[in-house]
Amino acid sequence: MTQDNRSQDVDQRAVGRRNLIKGAAAIGVGSLSARGIYEALGDVVRPQSAEAATVVRRLQEQYLIEQLEVIVDNSQTVVIPPIFNDVFTAKLKSTTTWTSAALKAAKTRVENALLKVESPYPDTAAGLTIVVGWGLPYFRTFFGDTATTAGNTLSRKYLPGVPGSSPKQLAVVDAIAFPSDPSTVELEDNHVMFKFRSDKQSILQLVESQLFDDQNSGAYIGDLFDLTSKRIGFLGRGFNQQSYGKTLGLQRGATAAALIPDNSQLMMGFTSTQTQALGPDNIPSFETLRGVTDQYPAGYFAAGCAMHLSHLYFKLDEWYAQGYGTRVQQMFAPQTPVPASPSTVTIPNGPAQVTSLAQVKADAQQGKAGHNSLLQQATRLASDSIDNYGRVRKKGTAIPVREDFNTLDNPFAWAPADVATIGNPNTPGMHFVAFVPSHLAFHRARMSMDGHLPDGSTLSVNGTAAGINSKIAASHRQNYVIPPRKNRSFPLVEFLT
């Protein structure tokens, strides 16, 4: 991307953000919930067994989804998560005087609204799940400094800390720019994000309209927030049908869309939801793994987790200019056996495929590095262990739960009144979400991806030269705290006097 193009993108983001912040009242009911270019993908109907669910209670872990469908591809079990993911980011309304009373009233309103819109649906992929996360700027603004050397603020008292640290070191921190990030990456300062997940765009559109568009819905909360972005993402579905990324990419004339494998979930051509590559059950929660945070057994944020949200652009033309074997070994590891058929998109990525630290260093001496083999140095358990719930966690078990979703627009130039024409609606990219036990753990993993390993060593192959880094570019990053469901609305407000 040229400097002129980068400047144009920045200008577009500024104009789009100004338009977005004007609010639903200025642009008419239905605009904020519009689907834009993604409407063409319609709703997804799963097999009947995957559609059925009986809701008894919703889990305290907001990030978990009940009864996810699992299929087998290339002899690997693969999860099929919700196909559509929307993320709204926002700041608390700038024109409101946020007294303790106003915050407490907002807490009640938001929780009641969320209960109203989610109650008709099961918490499955075919139904609806909502994740509400809060940025560190929210805690700093309303509950005191989060800095390591600060005093006994509500933020520092209740936010997850590193066990044994003195003074208390928080396990939740602001996002940073990583060595391979472009100089233009924006570190956001939103107060809150709402993440909506479903197979059915019709559900998402209705729920988002009720919350942010329709002032007569009985669940409207749009007057509480200045919305800063709406990010729409989608998976394949792929496997036994043409990838939605390819389908929509071809329709929109996206760069290199014709080269995306027909059966791939993601536009870079590989499966990312192998069951053995995702953290099982509640392993990403603050309190689950021993020694990670101080939230076990009854911390305020127990059953919550840390979350990273970023937006990435893909250089698909450069990615697919490489041969299939090169792509396999850059995405996974230099030793990964290359399947005979280039249509194979699901590559084994379980404990048996974890690359040792010694091998990663030996690869680097040969000028090679794989994306997954680097990440594995910080995202897989290094030994068998027992978690705080008494469960055995085997060596090589994945810790993060990732949610990677295709996108074809620029969500930071998304203007509801003109969503069909603004925002470069043919630019391949990804909305990346990782649910992890701490932001410190995510930063170690992302630094490993750049060749800066947890043992303190730096590989000779690092930065943009490592793995897939030269083929992706982050535009925005922010870290969020995901509370348990019971505290998802305006956490800590109840402690204000």
Q: Is 411 helix (H, G, I), strand (E, B) or coil?
A: helix
| pLDDT tens per residue across span 244-253 | 999 999 999 9
Q: What is the pLDDT of residue 51?
A: 56
Whether the Cβ atoms of residue 482 and residue 61 lie closer than 8 Å to each other: no
**Banded model confidence at residue 420, pLDDT cuts 50, 70, 90:** very low
**Banded model confidence at residue 414, pLDDT cuts 50, 70, 90:** low
pLDDT at residue 71 is higher than 60: yes
Of 267-271, 387-391, 417-421, minimum mean pLDDT range: 417-421
Top pLDDT among 410 and 477 is at 477
Sign of CA dihedral 481, 487, 488, 489: negative
Top pLDDT among 335 and 35 is at 335
Q: Which of 163, 133, 473, 146 is nearest to 308 (CA)?
A: 133
pLDDT at residue 76 is higher than 50: yes
**Banded model confidence at residue 383, pLDDT cuts 50, 70, 90:** very high
Cα–Cα distance list, 173 to 132, 177, 187, 489 (Å): 17, 13, 12, 20
pTM for the model: 0.92
CA 78, CA 75: separation in Å to the nearest integer?
A: 9
Whether the Cβ atoms of residue 234 and residue 405 lie closer than 8 Å to each other: yes
CA 450, CA 35: separation in Å to the nearest integer?
A: 35
Largest CA distance in the chain: 66
Residue 327's Cβ-side half-sphere holds a number of Cα atoms within 13 Å equal to 25
DSSP 8-state class, residue 464: G
- Rounded to the nearest 5 percent, the helix, strand and coil shares of the chain are 30, 20, 50
Q: What is the pLDDT of residue 241?
A: 78
Residue at token pair 């577009």: 12
Average pLDDT value for the chain? 90
